[in-house]
């Protein structure tokens, strides 16, 4: 039912398409998948572009001390995807690497389909090293990563052309990994060759086609490559071009800088993240569009049934979740109790441990890395024991992978294991292996309270708390990322610490976390279950109705994709929208050009 030619191409190094397809590592990839799922629901003419990642990210194993081991997450593209005939050639160093493409269809609620193209270099005509270029997500060294990004950006732009997608007016770069697509666009603009003469007009033509979403306020999270390496891999004139365009010192290529200088619209992924990004990259007009999650994907079956019964329109139009404000608290408690049962059954299946459904259960699952502070809850074990003695028992479920090269992240997992050992038998703490979409669905829905303790201001948005809200699970979180906007104290959940603007003070935040648990949350949970259910209800009505991917996509349409403010140009592309279209004002010459 793809009736309109696609006008928007969405590029992402990772995409969470399906729990059986391990082409994602975490939040960024899940967001990409949720974006495409919402776009399909809304009938937006979009295509997705990523790499096939035959070895996935990795499968996580943890030993008894919490030491992480990584195994390849091998899968068979043949089983899930359709191989397409055209192959293209991407120049890399002195050679041409052949790239072919696999297609996956994301189908929306009314049958609208969005094709996703996953690029693959595992072809006989390529040399052995090149054949593995599209194997491992975030694997290898800087050289491997740089080559992968050339395949994604340049290869992606070329393959769209080869497939006949000639009506694309907007190229959306999800994070800077795909910024080399500007090289592919330049080739298209100059009849297949890179221009020998760089002009402001060419730059503007590229800018008019690109949109960029930045995803991390942590400087180390932005991709950078040494200029020598860039010169070796890209050759001239491409290397000089991108090193000039990124607006940074010439010995380093900053992929975020490249994307910033080549985009007509740039956004961060939450109100606070926009502010932090503007400080990081002064001179660029950086907007905000707060992330959202795909509601149907992340809502447990018990809550799907509840919503279907009371406001069945919610699947087509997530705004109907606002009507949850009228749900009977007893029905929310009943649905939640079933979600919790499903989670605890899976915990028992995986670990052999039987948890008590009557006990207050905290969930914490995210990438294991230092700033996420999975260990903040264990700052004072005696205080935690006292809380349990005074107000009732506590169970805590953890999950999350550390990047194979993140020793600090791996150490945090071991610290959680050590705390779990020390707290036995007063508090039950379990760390579940191999966090993925399937486990996230269970954990976000089946926990009673969703805990998040990032070091401010390093959380760009965070999305697992949004999944929790859709399932009536309130958050207890540091005021960072989306929680700055999403927290109404005692109504949608609870804040750890106070001021959203100041950097974290770990000791005060730990004390605040314990205070909220001891004096507010546990008493509410154990002594006033109907009042607890009212918090659950407002989490759905106020946050579920807003922090979903349909609202996010509508905002991308209105702010990012509709370059002349006319959404109809994006949705019904009768004529490809061009820079010289009569509806477009001349480009604003005051914007920075890098």
Ligand X SMILES: *Cc1c(COP(=O)(O)O)cnc(C)c1O
Is 428 or 452 the residue whose CB approaches ligand X more closely? 452
Q: What minimum distance in Å lies between the beta carbon of 180 and ligand X?
A: 26
The token pair that represents 405 in the structure block = 């090269």
CA–CA gap between residue 532 and residue 61 (Å, rounded): 36
Is 165 or 467 the residue whose CB approaches ligand X more closely? 467
Is residue 251 packed enough to be buried (19+ CB in 10 Å), middle (13-18) or exposed (0-12)?
exposed
- For ligand X, the binding residues (CB under 6 A) are 26-27, 30, 366, 435-437, 440, 462-464, 467
The token pair that represents 108 in the structure block = 């929306």
Q: What minimum distance in Å lies between the beta carbon of 291 and ligand X?
A: 8
Q: What minimum distance in Å lies between the beta carbon of 546 and ligand X?
A: 16
How far the first Cα of the chain sits from its last, in Å, is 41
Is 246 or 375 the residue whose CB approaches ligand X more closely? 375
Q: What minimum distance in Å lies between the beta carbon of 116 and ligand X?
A: 18
What's the 3-state SS for 366-392?
Answer: CCCCHHHCCCHHHCCHHHHHHHHHHHC
Q: What minimum distance in Å lies between the beta carbon of 458 and ligand X?
A: 12
The token pair that represents 555 in the structure block = 């905002």
Is 13 or 147 the residue whose CB approaches ligand X more closely? 13
Is 11 or 435 the residue whose CB approaches ligand X more closely? 435
Write out the E strands in 269-376.
Answer: 286-288, 360-365
Which residues are CB-neighbours of 345 under 8 A, at least 6 positions away? none
Q: What minimum distance in Å lies between the beta carbon of 440 and ligand X?
A: 3
CA–CA gap between residue 563 and residue 569 (Å, rounded): 9
Is 147 or 487 the residue whose CB approaches ligand X more closely? 487
Which residues are CB-neighbours of 444 under 8 A, at least 6 positions away? 298, 363, 365, 450, 464, 467, 468, 471, 473
Q: What minimum distance in Å lies between the beta carbon of 413 and ligand X?
A: 15
CA–CA gap between residue 409 and residue 369 (Å, rounded): 4
Is 464 or 543 the residue whose CB approaches ligand X more closely? 464
Query: Residue 483's CB: how many other CB atoms inside 10 A?
Result: 28
Q: What minimum distance in Å lies between the beta carbon of 239 and ligand X?
A: 34
Q: What minimum distance in Å lies between the beta carbon of 65 and ligand X?
A: 23
Q: What minimum distance in Å lies between the beta carbon of 206 and ligand X?
A: 31
Is 435 or 494 the residue whose CB approaches ligand X more closely? 435
Please say whether the beta carbons of 115 and 40 come within 8 A. Answer: no
Q: What minimum distance in Å lies between the beta carbon of 233 and ligand X?
A: 30
Query: Residue 502's CB: how many other CB atoms inside 10 A?
Result: 11
Please say whether the beta carbons of 80 and 42 come within 8 A. Answer: no
Is 18 or 380 the residue whose CB approaches ligand X more closely? 18
Sheet holding 113-120, edge to edge: 82-92, 95-107, 113-120, 46-51, 8-12, 170-174, 210-213, 265-268, 286-288
Is 26 or 153 the residue whose CB approaches ligand X more closely? 26
Long-range contacts of 162-166 (CB under 8 A, 24+ apart): 162/86, 162/88, 163/84, 163/86, 163/101, 163/117, 165/5, 165/6, 165/9, 165/47, 166/5, 166/576
Is 317 or 434 the residue whose CB approaches ligand X more closely? 434
């Amino acid at each position: 039912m793809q009736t309109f030619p696609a006008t928007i191409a969405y590029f992402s190094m990772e995409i969470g398409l399906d729990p059986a397809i391990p082409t994602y590592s975490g939040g960024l990839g899940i967001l990409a998948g949720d974006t495409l799922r919402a776009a399909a629901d809304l009938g937006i003419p979009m295509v997705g572009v990523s790499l096939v990642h035959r070895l996935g990210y990795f499968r996580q194993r943890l030993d008894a001390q919490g030491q992480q081991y990584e195994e390849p997450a091998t899968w068979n593209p043949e089983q899930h995807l359709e191989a397409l005939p055209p192959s293209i050639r991407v120049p890399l160093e002195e050679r041409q690497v052949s790239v072919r493409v696999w297609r996956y269809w994301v189908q929306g609620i009314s049958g609208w389909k969005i094709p996703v193209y996953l690029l693959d270099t595992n072809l006989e005509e390529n040399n052995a090293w090149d054949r593995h270029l599209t194997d491992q997500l975030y694997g290898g060294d800087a050289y491997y990563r740089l080559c992968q990004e050339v395949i994604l950006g340049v290869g992606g732009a070329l393959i769209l052309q080869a497939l006949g997608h000639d009506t694309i007016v907007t190229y959306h770069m999800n994070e800077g990994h795909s910024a080399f697509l500007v090289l592919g666009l330049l080739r298209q603009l100059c009849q297949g060759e890179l221009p020998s003469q760089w002009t402001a007009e060419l730059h503007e033509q590229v800018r008019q086609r690109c949109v960029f979403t930045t995803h991390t306020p942590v400087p180390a999270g932005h991709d950078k490559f040494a200029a020598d390496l860039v010169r070796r891999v890209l050759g001239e004139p491409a290397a000089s071009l991108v090193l000039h365009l990124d607006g940074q010192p010439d010995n380093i290529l900053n992929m975020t800088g490249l994307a910033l200088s080549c985009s007509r619209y740039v956004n961060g992924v939450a109100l606070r993240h926009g502010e932090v990004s503007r400080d990081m990259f002064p001179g660029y007009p950086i907007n905000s569009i707060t992330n959202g999650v795909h509601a149907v994907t992340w809502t447990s079956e018990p809550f799907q049934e509840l919503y279907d019964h009371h406001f069945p329109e919610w699947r087509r139009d997530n705004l109907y979740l606002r009507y949850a404000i009228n749900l009977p608290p007893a029905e929310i408690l009943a649905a939640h109790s079933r979600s919790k049962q499903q989670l605890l059954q899976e915990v028992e299946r995986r670990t052999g441990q039987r948890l008590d459904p009557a006990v207050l259960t905290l969930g914490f699952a995210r990438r294991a890395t230092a700033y996420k502070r999975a260990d903040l809850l264990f700052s004072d074990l005696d205080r935690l024991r006292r809380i349990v003695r005074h107000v009732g028992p506590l169970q805590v479920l953890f999950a999350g992978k550390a990047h194979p090269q993140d020793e600090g992240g791996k150490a945090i997992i071991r610290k959680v294991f050590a705390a779990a050992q020390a707290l036995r038998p007063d508090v039950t703490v379990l760390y579940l292996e191999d966090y993925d979409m399937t486990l996230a669905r269970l954990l976000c829905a089946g926990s009673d309270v969703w805990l998040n303790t990032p070091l401010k201001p390093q959380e760009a948005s965070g999305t697992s708390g949004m999944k929790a809200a859709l399932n009536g699970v309130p958050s207890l979180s540091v005021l960072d990322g989306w929680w700055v906007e999403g927290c109404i104290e005692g109504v949608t959940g609870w804040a750890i610490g106070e001021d959203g603007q100041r950097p974290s003070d770990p000791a005060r935040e730990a004390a605040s976390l314990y205070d909220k648990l001891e004096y507010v949350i546990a008493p509410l949970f154990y002594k006033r279950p109907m009042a607890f259910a009212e918090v659950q209800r407002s989490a759905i009505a106020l946050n579920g109705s807003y922090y979903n991917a349909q609202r996010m996509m509508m905002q991308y349409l209105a702010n990012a994709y509709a370059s002349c403010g006319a959404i109809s140009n994006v949705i019904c592309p009768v004529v490809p929208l061009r820079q010289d279209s009569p509806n477009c004002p001349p480009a604003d010459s005051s914007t920075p050009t890098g």
